[in-house]
Amino acid sequence: MIRQIGLVVAMSLISVHALADKPRLVLQITVDGMRADLLDRYSKNFGRGGFRYLLEEGAVFTNAHYLHANTETIVGHTTLATGTTPAVHGMVGNVWYHADSGELGYNIEDPDAPLLPTRDDVAAGAQVDPAQLKAGSKGRSPKGILVPGLADTLKISSPASGKAFGISGKDRSAVAMAGKVGTAYWFSTDTGDFQTSSYYSDAYPDWVREWNAAGHTAALADSDWQLTLAAEKYVLADRDNRPYEVDLKGFGKIFPHNYGPANHPLFNTRVLVSPAGDTLLADFGKTLIEAEGLGVDRATDYLSISFSGVDAVNHFFGPSSLENEDTVLRLDQTLAELFKYIDDKVGLEHTLIVFSADHGMAEMPEQASEQGYPAQRLYSDEIVEYAKEQAKALLGNEKVIKDYFRPYFYLDDKELAKLKIRREEAIDILAAALERKDGIGGAIPSARAAALGEMAVAHNHHPTRSGDIYVYPEPHWFMFDRGAIGVMHGSPWAYDTHVPLIFVGPGVRRGSHARLVHPIDVAPTTSALLGILPPAAAEGQVLTEAIAR
């Protein structure tokens, strides 16, 4: 309650100013997997209009860390949108155990909201996203998000209701930011088109059909992803073709990377695992701005663009790879072109830009090991096998282990009831045993995380969605499925929680600030700059340093 009162006081101090310079467009840019240090690392090669514009013209918060433990895509995006933690908004992970089906399920799947087809008779592309493989249906909607986001609040509270859109290379990123009342579009690795579901519309508008029909993705067939600069100009010029990078079935570990023919099952995925996916997304965004008339009147419109390229490249090549550096530099160029387009169409003086990331990224464990740090790979099947061995040895029943998908173990209540000890005691015994396994940094009874002082896990705990034991890796260890990807995020360690946070535009005071802040502060601060109340469940603070007085 005290924090909510503080929000209202901060709002009252700035609302008059915010309303006087109310933006016509809110552009919320999220770069999936953009660890905060990458902006400094590559800055010498940035141009004038992209990242450098944000860093020089914005209110820059250099010490922004997520509060929750499971630093995954849906969790971070929904936190940015709602201003609260997964304990409240309910998106506890990319995958969780769905009580209604009795199975693990994908975060935004909704069988009642089938995809709108963009074309007929298209073969499904090969799926490499482990979270997507858990989906029981292809329907998508925000019904599982439990509280309103910024897009919802802006449309509900504004006297003249503006438009709201969320677009991304990933469905979960677009859906989380568009909220309940906006419209989401995302890239299809089956077709190379941008698609949506029946939750949002019964049919595609003409401009979407025309964009898809133009064949922008297919035009990349048999072309190469090449370096944008001369090789010697890169900070990581010597980081190509490292042995522990992952070859996406012919995409290669060394430049140039060939996309292959358009009919290859992984063609569209390769486009997404490169800067080309971000370029296509920005082009789709420009088309959306023009076709939907965003920012042309006094009703504030909202557009979230979540770029997926950095994250996708990180997973296969690592965040300290030549591929990562080139992806960030090309995104810098893409942002510069996007900002120029918006300046021409709307005016940057009328556009509030909110920039952040959904999570950071660990380095390859082999890279840490090369430097003398004892990091290794611990695979999901090894963790499950160990847990069952311990359950049988300590409890006499391995069947108490029902399921596991990082970060949660789910236990079988019927099997637990057969034991001669209390349920909580059995969980404690298993958690203690898991913590003895090399590579596991913590195994926390999730329902009692707060009482145990494990606040990052507590912020991730939702009583009907979270598992019984939350497991996270030791620092720099890889803990995920065997063979799927090269590196993973999702831990509570600083390399996963530390993200950039920048505000630029009308009502924003330039400056750099090093105090500790959190992404739950993004929605309240953006709301303050718009002169509206924050989303209903927002717990973050207004970052008053960002507000021009």
Binding-site residues for substrate: 94, 170-172
Residues 75 and 462: beta-carbon distance below 8 Å: no
Contact 451, 482 (CB under 8 A): no
User: Structure tokens of 63?
Assistant: 């010490």
Closest of 73, 5, 142, 24 to residue 534, by C-alpha: 5
Contact of 437 with 383, CB cutoff 8 Å: yes
**Two tokens at 245?**
């990078």
Binding residues: 94, 170-172
Structure tokens at 125: 């592309």
Identity (one letter) of the amino acid at 21?
D
Contact in structure between 97 and 465 (CB atoms under 8 Å): yes
Instruction: Choose among 511, 351, 328: nearest CA to 28.
Output: 351
Q: State the first-to-last Cα distance of the chain, in angstroms, to the nearest integer.
A: 26
Q: Are 150 and 234 in contact (CB under 8 A)?
A: no
Distance CA 191, CA 46 (A): 33
Q: Which of 30, 62, 71, 73 is catalytic?
A: 73
What single-letter DSSP state applies at residue 306? E
Tokens of 390: 């311990």
Instruction: Count CB neighbours of 468 within 10 A.
Output: 24
Closest residue by Cα to residue 546 from 305, 522, 350: 522
Whose tokens are 């042309």? That residue is: 296
Q: Name beta bridge partners: 303.
A: 27, 165
Please report where in the chains the tokens 């009308």 appear, as a residue: 506
Question: What is the distance between the alpha carbons of residues 378 and 479, in angstroms, rounded to a whole number?
Answer: 5
Active site residue 228: no
Do 165 and 182 contact (CB within 8 A), yes or no?
Answer: yes
* Contact predicate 38/46, CB 8 Å: no
Contact between 252 and 323 under an 8 Å Cβ cutoff? The reply is no
Query: Could you tell me which residues are beta bridge partners of residue 440?
Result: 473
**DSSP H or E stretch at residue 443:** strand 440-445
Q: Does an H or E element contain 498, and which?
A: strand 498-504
Contact yes or no for 259/220 (Cβ under 8 A): yes
**H or E segment and range at residue 502:** strand 498-504
- Residue 497 parent element (H or E): helix 494-497
Largest CA distance in the chain: 71
Which letter, b or e, does each residue of 397-435 get, where b requires 16 or more Cβ atoms within 10 Å of its Cβ? Answer: beebbbebbbbbbbbeeebbeeeeeeeeebbbbbbebbe
CB 278 within 8 A of CB 167: no
Residues 6+ apart with CB under 8 A from 370: none
Active site residues: 73
